[in-house]
Amino acid sequence: MNEWSVIILILALSVLLAWYTGKYMAGVYGGKNNLPDRIAPLENLIFRICKIDATRQMNWKEWLIAFFTIHIIWLLWGFFILINQHLLPINPARIPAMEWTLALNTAVSFITSTNLQHYTGETGASYFSQIMVMMFLQFVSAAASLAAGIAVIRGIKERSTGQLGNFYNDFVRSLTRILLPISFIASVLFVWRGVPMTFKGPDTIVSLQGDTVQIARGPVAAFLSIKELGSNGGGFFGTNDAHPFENPDTYTFILHSIIVFLLPMAFVFMIGFYLKQMKFSRMLFIVMFIGFLMITLPILQQEIKGNPAIANTGILNKAGNMEGKEQRFGAALTAFYCGINVVIPAGTTAGMHDSFMPLSGVFMLIGMQTDAFFGGLGTGWINMFIFVIIAIFISTLMIGRTPELLGKKITLTEMQLATAVILVQPLFCLGMAAIAAFVFVHYPGGNMALGWISNPKEHGFTTMLYEFISAFAGNGSEFAGLGNNTVFWNLTTIPVMLAGRFIPIAGSIIIAGYLASSKYTPPSYGTLKADSVSFAVFLFFVIMVVQVLCLFPSLVLGPIGEHVQLIRF
């Protein structure tokens, strides 16, 4: 198959599978009987042992207490194992303990579903850590995100009563009925295509030149399925999906792409099935899909077109910009995979983002900053929910109506909370990037403190900005020109990851709690329809205007400035 056939096949299969998965998910969260419910007696036993009443409905305060408490436990668990991994079993490569700032950064990274890997997978973490910290946290953080998404949906349900469901019940259902079954199927397919699944240590081979080489391997297949399915992105190997053990051929490339897309797309369809508002669901899907295309197509165009500085020299550039690209997949597929993984914050890479064209970096940053064009599991809907609140508030005031969403009145309190959530991201990302740039420029040895930046000019600023936006968005991909395993980068990205995870979720849960407590008002003549084409257009432009305005000055200093320098010569 040629590259465009592969892209079309991935999109078609993703939408088709997402439709049926979304319908299934609506049954899971709606309490309908399905095959996996046969494990309910085991779940009930676990709840009794833990003294959890999974049937008790929670208001927004109780829900957030449960959500934050369990994340603190996961953080302590992950940090303890990583600083002691040299003493723990299943470490055939004898990998030493992580330095404490790196261990703390890694634990925070995985509980926030960011997977901002400042360590190199095969040399930085033992098999025990990969399974008991990385893989475990990828499962539970994804399940918690799904629980958050369904809680927000319950807040706008027609006959809600101020309750958002039970966090623990939704969390367990997400694990046992959605993530585990699909991950098992994907893992079997990965093994079938040659992805390693072993607990043996690194293999030793002798090359044709007579060199002795250590080849890392491990329980890779099981790790990959949840890293993609859960919008996590942590690579078992440092080069992620460019590594032939993670991505052996075109079939695994297609599988990687589909399972990244699957649940974020399915969640949008699930909203329609759960609320019985399919028009609203289709409106969201169309806005998200158009947004995805507007982020991805420019990246494709830039990488296929190639570097104008090379083309102007008369050197053949027919293959596009192949610097930093995986040769097996070419510029187009690698760029397409980049588009998927900046829009859906899985952050997995099949090429080096640092080597992409400057204007590609513009759209990478906008895609991560927006984080609402499908986005992560549950969290993509949460970010879109914030934009929907803002768009409805503005549009209804323009026509002289009281703002309402699916029959629930939106007051000044909800609007203030939504606005605060939107403003948090530039405050953290741009503020931290400014601090990093200031230290780099004004302090002697600043480059040593920050880690080596391969290009200290406009590209260097983009590299630092990308690090913080990726951290906030729960993306985790990086410009590899930044040597980020230093105390400075390990510690400064921690508050950004925590803010990016917890502030949007907390803000949305509080808004959903208020909406759930408000009286349902049937739509009347003149009510703004949130499922209409006109609202979809307005919503899309609200998203783009807000995000581009927040980011544009930084884009001029970074990738746009680099592009201008490139075309000058």
Rounded-to-integer distance, Cα 308 and Cα 39, Å: 59
Give the containing element (helix H, strand E) for 213.
strand 212-215
Angle subtended at Cα 458 by Cα 371 and Cα 493, rounded to the nearest 5 degrees: 45
pLDDT of residue 480: 76
Chain centroid, CA 472 distance in Å: 10
Which residues are CB-contacts of 278 (< 8 A; sequence separation ≥ 6)? 272
Given a contact cutoff of 8 angstroms between Cβ atoms, the answer to whether 150 and 28 are in contact is no
Q: Which two tokens stand for residue 185?
A: 């199927």
Q: Got the DSSP string for 47-110?
A: HHHTT--TTS---HHHHHHHHHHHHHHHHHHHHHHHHTGGGSS--TT-PPPPPHHHHHHHHHHH
Q: Which residue has the tokens 């634990």?
A: 107
Rounded-to-integer distance, Cα 270 and Cα 277, Å: 10
Given a contact cutoff of 8 angstroms between Cβ atoms, the answer to whether 479 and 462 are in contact is yes
**490-521 confidence digits (pLDDT tens):** 999 999 999 999 999 999 999 999 998 888 77
Rounded-to-integer distance, Cα 471 and Cα 460, Å: 17
Considering only residues 320 and 299, tell me which one the structure prediction assigns the higher pLDDT. 299
Rounded-to-integer distance, Cα 222 and Cα 287, Å: 33
**533-549 confidence digits (pLDDT tens):** 888 999 999 998 888 88
Which residues are CB-contacts of 504 (< 8 A; sequence separation ≥ 6)? 379, 382, 383, 386, 421, 424
Rounded-to-integer distance, Cα 101 and Cα 109, Å: 12
Query: How many alpha carbons fall within 13 Å on the CB side of residue 334?
Result: 30
Which residues are CB-contacts of 293 (< 8 A; sequence separation ≥ 6)? none
Given a contact cutoff of 8 angstroms between Cβ atoms, the answer to whether 114 and 475 are in contact is yes
Rounded-to-integer distance, Cα 32 and Cα 42, Å: 18
Q: Which residue has the tokens 């030793």?
A: 204
Q: Which two tokens stand for residue 111?
A: 């509980």
Closest among 310, 295, 308, 302 to 332, alpha carbons compared = 302
**CB atoms inside a 10 Å sphere around CB 317:** 17
pLDDT of residue 374: 92
Query: Is 90 exceeded by the pLDDT of residue 76?
Result: yes
pLDDT of residue 326: 80
Residue 404, beta-bridge partner list: 409
Rounded-to-integer distance, Cα 128 and Cα 91, Å: 7
What average pLDDT is seen over the chain?
88
| The overall pTM is greater than 0.85 | yes
- Grade residue 384 by pLDDT with cuts at 50, 70 and 90: very high
Given a contact cutoff of 8 angstroms between Cβ atoms, the answer to whether 481 and 455 are in contact is yes
Domain ranges of the chain: 3-277, 280-568
Give the containing element (helix H, strand E) for 440.
helix 412-442
Say what percent of the chain tops pLDDT 70: 93
Which residues are CB-contacts of 73 (< 8 A; sequence separation ≥ 6)? none
pLDDT of residue 451: 57
Radius of gyration of the chain (CA): 23
- Sign of the Cα pseudo-torsion (521, 26, 162, 499, in order): negative
pLDDT of residue 20: 94
Q: Which residue has the tokens 């940053």?
A: 365
Angle subtended at Cα 563 by Cα 562 and Cα 564, rounded to the nearest 5 degrees: 90
SS3 408: strand
Angle subtended at Cα 427 by Cα 434 and Cα 388, rounded to the nearest 5 degrees: 140
**CB atoms inside a 10 Å sphere around CB 93:** 15
Span 8-18, average pLDDT: 95
Which residues are CB-contacts of 99 (< 8 A; sequence separation ≥ 6)? none
pLDDT of residue 444: 55
Which residues are CB-contacts of 77 (< 8 A; sequence separation ≥ 6)? 133
pLDDT of residue 345: 86
Q: Which of 74-88, 259-273, 434-448 shows the lowest per-residue confidence on average (mean pLDDT)? A: 434-448
- H helices present in 313-378, as ranges: 330-343, 358-370
Closest among 285, 122, 326 to 214, alpha carbons compared = 122
pLDDT of residue 397: 80
**62-74 confidence digits (pLDDT tens):** 999 999 999 999 9
Rounded-to-integer distance, Cα 494 and Cα 137, Å: 16
**246-292 confidence digits (pLDDT tens):** 999 999 999 999 999 999 999 999 999 999 999 999 999 999 999 99
Q: Where are the beta strands (DSSP E) in 165-233?
A: 203-206, 212-215
Give the containing element (helix H, strand E) for 508.
helix 487-517
